[in-house]
Amino acid sequence: MNLKPLAEQTLVITGVTSGIGLTTARMAALQGARVMLVARNENALQSLADEINASGGQALYTIADVADKPALQAAADKTIAAWGGFDTWVNNAGVSVYGRIMEVPEEDFRRLFETNFWGVVNGSRIAVDHLRGKGGALINMGSEASDAPIPLQGAYTASKQAVKGFTDSLRMELEGDGVPVAVTLIKPTAIHTPFPEHAKNYLPYEPKLPTPVYAPELVAEAILYCAEQAQREFFVGEMAKLNSAMARTMPRLYEKMNESLLDSRQNSGKKAAALRPDSLYETHSQLQQRGAGERVVLETSVYQQAKLHPFLTGALMMVGGAALAAWYARETYPFARAKPAKRLAATLK
């Protein structure tokens, strides 16, 4: 499937005022794409649009809760009116709740699904309606939790597994009908964003992301790669691939390991704040790309570089393999350690 170069594209991105969405919007604009910014907080949207336009990019915004399909349709209509349409739609908006499943109120479960699942359904249907005649890309934000359940984030895990099922089914239907829309599911591991700070929390402590934590720029890079190169799915971070494989092939081992680390891996060591704002029902006006606090953040991923640059990686592996083989031969066989002239003389005797 042929997709346009990013510099020739118009993107609609939801959830752009923090974390992965914010990083992706900025990166897309820097690479020449026109960007329709979609989120709930007008002050944050205005600030981001002004920032992008002032730096030479092209950005418009629409205030919309992704759970509100008419509001989301308005974002599509505004993009079509301003730029003649869009080429890639990114369903990124998402929220989370920390807490044991039996202790999280039902209304919070439902609200989370309105955003994380129904927001993806709404955006996907709007995007496909527009793209089915011209072609393009639909990119949905999943998670390693789409394959590998995360305790204490049961509602979030359930929503991301629902997103995976929906995305995979939609892809098969569109491919079966010959519709030229590339449908991709992005599956990041723990990413250094305000995710824990923005989540609603029912734990007695402030939650944290488990290590290792990766930079949000890696997810943005993956999203924009998939806007140009059709991909079925894209794991971000080695741990996403590892956790997915373990949960699929050794489910009981995966579960037992996570049960034994139930609290420790997500416990910041700080007591939960009494009055704590969250993004489940509220919005944030601050443009915050990364999470709070000092963390060791992995700024690159060997797995991702191999995915993005397979031929270069293959060549480097071949060179490395040849060098390793030569070293092994020199260390193992005395004949191989001899100088070339001596080897030749020995051969001629």
Which pLDDT tens digit goes with each residue over 109-136? 999 999 999 999 999 999 999 999 999 9
Separation of first and last alpha carbons in the chain? 62
Q: How confident is the model at residue 328 (pLDDT cuts 50, 70, 90)?
A: very low
143 exposure class (CB count in 10 Å sphere: 0-12, 13-18, 19+): buried
* Residue 184 host element (H or E): strand 181-188
pLDDT at 346 over 90: no
Contact 208, 268 (CB under 8 A): yes
- Ranges 17-31, 103-117, 324-338: which has the least confidence: 324-338
Band (322; pLDDT cuts 50, 70, 90): low
Task: Write out pLDDT tens, residues 55-99.
Answer: 999 999 999 999 999 999 999 999 999 999 999 999 999 999 999
Which residue type, as a one-letter code, is found at position 335?
A: F
Kindly indicate the confidence band of residue 348, based on its pLDDT and cuts at 50, 70 and 90.
very low
Predicted structure pTM score: 0.88
pLDDT at 325: 53
Q: What is the mean pLDDT of residues 166-195?
A: 98
pLDDT computed for residue 318 by the predictor: 53
Cα→Cα distances 31→121, 172, 176, 221, Å? 28, 31, 33, 11
pLDDT band with cut points at 50, 70 and 90 for residue 163: very high
Percent of the chain with pLDDT over 90: 83
272-317 pLDDT, tens digit per residue, is 998 788 999 999 889 999 998 878 999 999 999 999 988 665 554 4
- Asked whether 102 and 48 are in contact (CB, 8 A), the reply is no
Closest CA to 11 of 124, 126, 89: 89
Active site residue 156: yes
**What φ, ψ does residue 93 adopt, rounded to 5°?**
-55, 135
Domain boundaries, the chain: 6-308, 319-349
Q: In the prediction, which pLDDT does 263 show?
A: 80
For domain 6-308, give the fold.
Rossmann fold (3.40.50)
Give the Cα separation of 180 and 178 in Å (integer).
6
Beta bridge partners of 288: 18
* Cα 46 to Cα 16: distance, rounded to the nearest angstrom: 11
Average pLDDT in the 259-268 region?
Answer: 86
Phi, psi of 250 (to 5 degrees): -135, 65
Q: Give me the pLDDT at residue 347, please.
A: 46
Active-site position among 61, 156, 214, 254: 156
- Give the percent of the chain with pLDDT over 70: 89
pLDDT of residue 332: 46
DSSP string, 60-117: EEEE--TT-HHHHHHHHHHHHHHHS--SEEEE-----EEB-GGGS-HHHHHHHHHHHT
pLDDT at residue 340 tops 70: no
* pLDDT for 295: 86
8 Å CB contact between 216 and 19: yes
What is the structure's pLDDT at 312?
A: 65
Instruction: Answer whether residue 143 shows pLDDT above 90.
Output: yes
Residue 248 structure tokens: 């699929």
Chain mean pLDDT for the chain:
92
